[in-house]
């Protein structure tokens, strides 16, 4: 193992999770045709990024062409997904790749090493995109991602997919969406007129990069007390608030902050997580982008998951090592998808 890589061992953490400890009793309400849900937004992985959404950008070229391209999974322009089907006689598990980009830019894509490794291991791959925040504010992005999972399950027989073995991966915004899906109560609505919305949104495991466990600005302020990371503009835009006046916001905004945080929905029956970070735990918070992608988020999530007895791996320092992140993701995803086959 490279000397620059840090890995958290189970049971080794002690960290004050601040407001998160008060969230556990708060859940989303869902009725037959209305989902009352609030969520958040995220930032891109690069230290400097455009403030303007990139519209209708084509997905990144892949060395392996998809079996199905630009499949519409919902009614909106950006409700699109690409599908790579594993060559398998038995129904194959699936890894869904959710792109990042502050909910303001990005397009459906999947790491080439992960894609080729999955297909070689008999795992199908789906890459999705979703509405940007300039088109629709939260909860549009999370509901889009949830519908994409339901759409894949709905087509399980047609695509020779095992609907009980679905994993998700993503970076930054895609990480936040993946964690939220993995921890949130099932959004399946058995009585819905739309057969897609009757399907489950639950996941087998999540492998995320530079991800956040909470988007509550109060939580983030406590996590980085010497930084203004909690005032990041992308977060303020999605919530529609001035975060410089955080302590003066109305109660409904505070409830919104809590409801969109993945860690709030964590329960003992949730899926295991692999988290990787470019930074180390001692990386200085010299700008908001470093703060919002800092491994302290992984540290606090792992502490809570350890208490619940759920596997949570946190690996740091990937900006300083030549070790392959894709190989780590593949090993984790394959292990848990294989294990789920026997359950």
- pLDDT for residue 111 is more than 60: yes
Asked whether residue 31 is assigned to any structural domain, the reply reads no
Structure tokens given for 87: 């060559």
Other CB atoms within 10 Å distance of the CB of residue 56: 7
Structure tokens given for 255: 């409830």
* pLDDT value of residue 57: 42
Q: What is the DSSP string of 66-130?
A: -SEEEEE-SSSTT-EEEEE----SSPEEEEEEE--STTTS------HHHHHHHHHTT-EEEEE--
- 3 state SS of 229: helix
Asked whether residue 47 is assigned to any structural domain, the reply reads no
Asked whether residue 55 is assigned to any structural domain, the reply reads no
* pLDDT value of residue 231: 95
Asked whether residue 101 is assigned to any structural domain, the reply reads yes
Round to whole Å and give the CA distance between 280 and 296.
9
Q: What is the pLDDT of residues 52-80, one digit of tens each?
A: 333 344 445 567 999 999 999 999 999 99
- What is the domain range of residue 180? 6-24+60-341
Asked whether residue 36 is assigned to any structural domain, the reply reads no
Phi, psi of 323 (to 5 degrees): -65, 145
The CATH number assigned to the domain holding 274 equals: 3.40.50.1820
Asked whether residue 293 is assigned to any structural domain, the reply reads yes
Asked whether residue 100 is assigned to any structural domain, the reply reads yes
Q: Based on the structure, what is the number of domains in the chain?
A: 1
Q: What is the pLDDT of residues 262-304, one digit of tens each?
A: 999 999 999 999 999 999 999 999 999 999 999 999 999 999 9
| Contacts of residue 342, Cβ cutoff 8 Å, sequence gap at least 6 | none
Asked whether residue 42 is assigned to any structural domain, the reply reads no
State the pTM of this model: 0.82
């Amino acid at each position: 193992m490279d000397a620059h890589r840090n890995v958290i061992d189970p049971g080794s953490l002690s960290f004050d999770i601040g407001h998160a400890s008060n969230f556990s009793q708060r859940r989303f309400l869902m009725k037959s045709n209305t989902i009352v849900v609030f969520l958040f937004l995220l930032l891109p992985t690069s230290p400097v990024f455009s403030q303007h959404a990139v519209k209708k950008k084509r997905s990144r070229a892949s060395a392996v062409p998809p079996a199905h391209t630009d499949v519409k999974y919902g009614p909106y322009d950006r409700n699109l997904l690409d599908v790579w089907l594993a060559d398998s006689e038995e129904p194959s598990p699936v890894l869904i790749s959710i792109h990042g980009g502050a909910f303001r830019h990005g397009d459906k894509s999947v790491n080439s090493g992960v894609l080729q490794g999955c297909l070689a291991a008999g795992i199908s791959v789906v890459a999705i995109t979703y509405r940007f925040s300039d088109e629709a504010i939260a909860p549009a992005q999370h509901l889009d991602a949830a519908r994409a999972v339901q759409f894949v399950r709905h087509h399980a027989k047609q695509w020779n997919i095992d609907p009980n073995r679905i994993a998700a991966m993503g970076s930054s915004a895609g990480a936040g969406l993946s964690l939220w899906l993995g921890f949130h109560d099932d959004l399946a609505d058995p009585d819905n007129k739309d057969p897609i919305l009757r399907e489950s949104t639950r996941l087998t495991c999540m492998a995320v990069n530079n991800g956040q466990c909470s988007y509550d600005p109060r939580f983030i302020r406590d996590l980085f007390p010497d930084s203004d990371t909690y005032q990041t503009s992308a977060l303020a835009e999605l919530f529609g608030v001035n975060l410089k006046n955080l302590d003066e916001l109305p109660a409904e905004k505070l409830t919104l902050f809590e409801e969109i945080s993945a860690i709030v929905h964590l329960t003992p029956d949730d899926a295991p997580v692999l988290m990787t970070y470019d930074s180390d735990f001692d990386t200085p918070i010299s700008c908001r982008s470093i703060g919002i992608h800092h491994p302290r988020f992984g540290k606090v999530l792992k502490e809570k998951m350890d208490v619940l007895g759920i596997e949570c791996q946190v690996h740091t320092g990937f900006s300083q090592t030549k070790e392959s992140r894709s190989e780590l993701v593949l090993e984790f995803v394959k292990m848990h998808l294989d294990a789920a086959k026997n359950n």
